[in-house]
Amino acid sequence: MNQQLSPWRLCVAPMMDWTDRHCRFFHRLLTRRARLYTEMVTTGALMHGDVARHLRFNAEEHPLALQLGGSEVADLAACARLAQQWGYDEVNLNIGCPSERVQRGAFGACLMAEPELVADGLKAMQDACSLPVTVKHRVGIDRGEDYGFVRDFVGTLAHRSACTVFIVHARNAWLQGLSPKENRELPPLRYEQVYRLKADFPALRFVINGGIGSDEQIAQHLEQVDGVMLGRHAYHEPFAMAGWDQRFFGDSADHLAGEPSGDPSGNSFADSFANSFPDSPANSGRALDRQTVEAQMVDYMQSQREQGTPWSHVSRHMLGLYNGLPGARRWRQVWSDHRLKNEAPAAVMALAQRAMQQPPAAQPMQWAAAPPVASAVSGVSAEPAAPSTLSPTSDLNPPLSLEVLS
C-alpha cells in the first residue's frame, strides 16, 4: 500500500464526555494508526483553569490532536503554544459545534458566518506553533443548502491562513431549535458537498465525517476524499477498529494493535485468562484479541486505581468491546455493577469472563474466585482476600449471586 497515505486517513472524532484520555488509551489498543482527538477544550479552560487536568495524556495515545474551542485570536495562539509544549501532534479548531452554550461563548458552528475571524485565529495559531493546525466544520449553518457558502468559507480560510486540512461534518448545523444530539442526526447528510470541495480544492486535504458506520462506507468515502472520521460507531462498536490498520493502512497481521504480546513468561493477563477460561466465547477466532485488549485495560485500570482514579471511570469506555458475541450482555452487566467498585479490576474481569460462559437461562450464577493473575504491564497480582458475598438484585438479568474476591 502507498506509504504516502494521508496522516488523516482514519480518525476518531472528538466527543464530549467520551474521548477522554482513558477512552483514547483503549482506542489505541485497537488501532495504532488512526488519529485520535481530545474532547473539545475551550481556550477559557486553558487560560484560566487547570491546564494539566485538561491536557495530560498517555504517551501511547500518539498520534493525538488537541481540539480547541474559542474565537479570541490571542487566546487561540496561546493555547496552540500549550498544545506544542505538551507534546500534541496537531491542534484543531472546532467550528462545528452547534450547542447553545457554545454559541453564547461566540465560538463553534456560529463562526462559519465569520470566515475572516476564523482565518485570523488559524493564522495566529500557525504563527504560535509548528504543529499542523486544522479546522473541523459543517457544510453549512441553519437551513441554507447553497454549496457556495461552504466553498467560499474553505477558500477564505485556505487563502488567509494557509490551512490545508479540513475535517467536514457533512451536515448543516441548525443553530436554533435542536439539541447537540439532534444536530448529529436530523440535518440531512450531504456527502456530495464534501466531494465537491475536494474536486474544487485538490491541493487541500479533506476528511469526511458524519453518519459513517461500516468499513464498506469508509472504503467508499476514501475513493473521494483524503480521510474519514468516525465518532459514535467507533465508540459503540470499538472492535471494528481492530481491522483498520490492516485494511486501510496495509499493516501486516503481525503488527496489528490488540494482538497478544507474546510474553514468554506466560504471566500476561491474556495468557492467564485464556488458560483459565478455555471454553469462553471470547476464545473463538479473532475474539481472543478482545480478551487481550480487556486484559491490557485491566492493567491500565489497576495503574489508574493506584493513582486515585476509580476503575469505573475507565471501564465505561470499553463496554462495547464484546458486542455481537454470546454472553456480551452479561459481561457488560458485571463491569457495570456498582457493587464491584471496590474490587480489583482483575477480579472483575474474572467475573465478567465467567459470566460470558454461563447459559442464558442459568439463574442464579455462582462464582468462585479466579486464580491469581499477574499483570503484564503493572506487575500487580490479584491475590485473594477476604470474600464479600453479593446477593442477587433485580437490575441484573439473569441475576448474579457473586462471591467476589478482591
Helices (H), 307-370: 312-315, 328-336, 345-357
Q: Nearest Cα to 381, choosing from 298, 293, 312?
A: 298
Alpha-carbon span 406 to 49, nearest angstrom: 37
| Burial (0-12, 13-18, 19+ Cβ within 10 Å), 261 | middle
**Residues contacting residue 100 through CB under 8 Å, at least 6 positions apart:** none
- Please name the helix (run of DSSP H) or strand (run of DSSP E) that holds residue 93, with its range, or none: strand 90-95
Provide the β-strand partners of residue 37: 65
d(CA 33, CA 70): 29
CA angle 346–347–349, rounded 5-degree value: 65
DSSP 8-state class, residue 67: E
Query: Which grid coordinates belong to 405?
Result: 474476591
**Which residues have a Cβ under 8 Å from the Cβ of 101 and sit 6 or more positions away?**
none
Question: Which helix (H) or strand (E) is 404 found in, with range?
Answer: strand 400-404
Dihedral, CA of residue 293, residue 299, residue 300 and residue 304, to nearest 10? 160
What amino acid positions are annotated as catalytic residues?
Answer: 97
Tell me if 167 sits within 8 A of 194, measured CB to CB.
no
What is the C-alpha separation between 268 and 30, in angstroms, rounded?
17
Dmax (CA) for the chain in angstroms is 69
Pairing of strands 205-209, 165-173: parallel
Among the residues of 108-255, which ranges form H helices? Answer: 115-128, 147-161, 180-183, 191-200, 215-222, 232-236, 244-249
DSSP class of residue 146?
Answer: -
Q: What are phi and psi of 96, to 5 degrees?
A: -125, -15
Residue 12, beta-bridge partner list = 36, 230
Q: Which residue has the cell 507474546?
A: 262
